[in-house]
Amino acid sequence: MDSKRTVESSQSFREGNPESKFWIGPDVVADHDIIIQPDEWIIEHIKIGPEHVPPLEISPMRAFYRARHSTRSVLAQQGLEIKPMWEKFERDDSWAWGGLNSGLQENLPVGFHNYGRRAIQIQAGDKIFRCFNSEGTKAVKGTHLVNLVTKGEMSISGTYGKDWSFASEGKMLVDYSQAEQAELIALTVNRDLKLWVPPAETPLHVTDRSKLAEVLKPVPADQSPGFFVTETNSRITMGNNPGVLDYSFKSKSRSGDNAHHLESQLIDPHFGNEEGGNPIRLEAQTSREMPEHPYIYLSVMEI
């Protein structure tokens, strides 16, 4: 999701914030090799253990029904969206949860959708996605959210009202005097930046950000791919709080959603802190051009 995402493990997050109800699980790891062709949707069974779903105190029973998920950024930027197929289970069938609750791993169905123009290879041992759960916690709002940004716990570069703003009830609060109504942060998107992995005959296997930078290229002017990578205009530090991006891109110039963000929406605590701020990389899937003056919402979660 971002160019230099700070990876914070679930264990260190919970140990550093033992009272937090926002839960981030460890990486689910592929247990066999997989190749996903361009524009292909497949379902594979992947071993998932009890450590990958929210614990009982956060989400009693049916934890895997309630868990959200986030594709690893390095894979999402290649055009891959990974989605656990929790709905494959019958609501009255507790066999999978029973196994997980007993400390066993279960082979659970996971969907892989390649929106890109090149085949993607997953190898056994690759980290592919994480689950997270915000039940029992809330997004930071109002003066608390304003204070996080203005008092240095978080930081957002750029001009208020142009590069970013607080937002409430589906609209940007471009007038800073309304900031106390804040429920979200609206981050404008660099519409001029469009990156992709160009087509090639051989499958791509990249799990490292530095290698990813070598294969991501500007989209040629004569191409209109349905998937591309862009980023926020602002550089952000998250402080100690996790964040969650919205699923839809919005537009200042017209109503209606025109593009969607892949399900790689989790922003780790401490994102950008060491570097003094980073833009958030965004994976856009759209059947049309990105709308003019696009932006995306970021919820900052309590810890």
Domains 10-133 and 142-300 fall in the same CATH topology: yes
Confidence check: pLDDT of 62 > 90: no
Q: For 175-185, what is each residue's pLDDT tens digit? A: 888 889 999 99
Q: To which residue do tokens 């105190």 refer?
A: 57
User: Residue 98 — very low, low, confident or very high, per pLDDT cuts 50/70/90?
Assistant: low
10-37 pLDDT per residue, tens? 443 544 455 667 889 999 999 999 999 9
pTM comes to 0.88
Q: Band the pLDDT of 95: cuts 50, 70, 90.
A: low
Q: What residues does each domain of the chain span?
A: 10-133, 142-300
- Count of all residues that appear for the chain in the document: 303
pLDDT tens string 35-48: 999 999 999 999 98
Please tell me the predicted confidence (pLDDT) of residue 6. Answer: 35
| pLDDT value, residue 108 | 86
What percent of the chain shows pLDDT beyond 90?
56
pLDDT value for 253: 61
With bands split at pLDDT 50, 70 and 90, how would you rate the model's confidence at 303?
A: confident
pLDDT tens readout for residues 215-228: 999 999 998 888 99
pLDDT-derived band at 4, boundaries 50, 70, 90: very low
CATH number of 10-133: 2.70.40.10
Q: Is the pLDDT of residue 89 over 60?
A: no
**What's the whole-number mean pLDDT along residues 93-116?**
78
Q: What pLDDT score does 10 carry?
A: 43
- List, for residues 229-284, the tens digit of each pLDDT value: 999 999 999 999 999 999 888 886 655 556 899 999 999 999 998 888 999 999 99
- CATH architecture entry for 142-300: Distorted Sandwich (2.70)
- What's the pLDDT band for 101 if we cut at 50, 70, 90? low
Q: Note the pLDDT of residue 19.
A: 60
